[in-house]
Amino acid sequence: MPTIKEFDTKLKSLKNTKKITKTMKMVAASKLRRAHQAQANAKLYAQELTAMTLRISASVPSASHPLLKPRTAVKNVAILIITSDKGLCGAFNHNANRRVAAWIRENRSMHEKIDLWCCGKRGFAYFNRHDAVKNYYENVTGTPRFADAMRIGNELSQAFREGRCDTAYFSYNQFINPLVQKTVFEQILPIDSSVLEKTSDQRSDYIFEPEDEEVLNFLIPHFLYFKIYFALLENSAGEHGARMTAMDSATKNATELIDRYTISRNRARQAAITTELTEIVAGAEVLR
């Protein structure tokens, strides 16, 4: 059995750990509030922008914009992987990385090349050990900015236009609530205008002012940029929610261990006192 000194050392370490995890939980809760507010503010705009883009893109030929035109042969694929920069958030990053890795294993033989574009250190560290990461964007997931999403979307759309990738996907963790985050893996390029056709009985004929080409040249890239930006917001809110939940569980576990070691320490102390009393009584009997 460990000595009383060893129990005291363990209890001191556990109490310090509990203070750290409790503080981290409070910090994560504060960041989650801000991230969730930003995500909620952008959600309505994202829904309206998506609906308008689908309506307009479904009303014009797919050849009207390069980002709407699907490729007949898909040889090169790009995957934008969005994870967090920091850890201590449970299986948040691991689930997303495993989802992408499973897709790569299943589809590697169907494509000549699969390029990985990483946002977040955790995804970069995971995939850089097995697959070459083509592009890595640092410090864009902690505090998402639309300027970063524009830069990523511009480089991704340029690769698609130049034929360096025939299809682009992205993966991120969607925020459901602080306890639940859902890994999303979906296609972003080419933009699929047939989604509306499945939900609408007839197409609308719009009169464009300015011309439809000018409208699409602004709307389609902006839709791509905001889709990436909204994914960054969702992932950021999910990260803080997962970290808050993980730190709450760690705090509860530390509390349970403190209670358990306190009982064990008290028993060891009681046994030591009983032994000392026995020795004192035995010595007194000998003197008599």
Sheet strands side by side (includes 113-119): 133-137, 113-119, 76-82, 167-177, 180-189
- Joined together, the tokens standing for residue 278 give 């026995």
The C-alpha atoms of residue 161 and residue 151 are separated, in whole angstroms, by 15
Cis peptide before 66 (omega within 30 of 0): no
> Residue 62 has what pLDDT?
52
Phi, psi of 72 (to 5 degrees): -70, -40
pLDDT in tens, 58-98: 666 655 678 878 888 888 999 999 999 988 888 889 988 99
> Residue 197 has what pLDDT?
47
> Residue 45 has what pLDDT?
86
Which of the given ranges, 35-39, 131-135, 254-258, has the highest pLDDT on average? 254-258
Closest CA to 12 of 273, 252, 257, 266: 257
Predicted confidence (pLDDT) at residue 121 exceeds the cutoff of 70? yes
- Joined together, the tokens standing for residue 154 give 């511009």
pLDDT in tens, 44-61: 888 888 877 777 766 666
Instruction: Report the b/e string of 166-183 with b at 16+ CB within 10 A.
Output: bbbbbbbbbbeebeebeb
**Mean pLDDT (the chain, rounded):** 85
> Residue 196 has what pLDDT?
44
Q: What is the mean pLDDT of residues 261-267?
A: 89
Q: How far apart are the first and last CA of the chain?
A: 34
What domains can be seen in the chain, in order of their start residue?
A: 4-22+246-287 (1.10.287.80), 31-244 (3.40.1380.10)
Please compute, for residue 131, the number of CA atoms within 13 A of its CA located in the half-sphere on the CB side. Answer: 24
pLDDT-above-70 percentage for the chain: 90
pLDDT in tens, 211-245: 767 777 888 889 899 999 999 999 999 999 999 99
> Residue 255 has what pLDDT?
93
Cis peptide before 210 (omega within 30 of 0): yes
